[in-house]
Amino acid sequence: MAESIEQHLGAVRIAARLDLIHEASSPVWHNAYVLVTATHLAVLLVTVED
């Protein structure tokens, strides 16, 4: 997955996990990350639901 992201956005210089609260839904597992490259700022949401 990292290779695919870097193919589209360029090399990730900073990656940080975000704490997001989803009150409307409750997935089994979720993580959110902010990714910073030389030209982009992106948020990656990874969710597993039942």
Q: 2-45 pLDDT, tens per residue? A: 888 899 999 999 999 998 766 666 667 788 999 999 999 999 98
**41-48 sheet: strands from edge to edge:** 14-18, 29-36, 41-48
- Under the banding of pLDDT at 50, 70 and 90, the label for residue 49 is confident
Identify the helix (H) or strand (E) that includes residue 24. Answer: none
- Please state the domain count of the chain: 1
Radius of gyration of the chain (CA): 12
- What is the pTM for the complete model shown? 0.72
Q: Which residue segment(s) compose the domain that 33 sits in?
A: 2-48
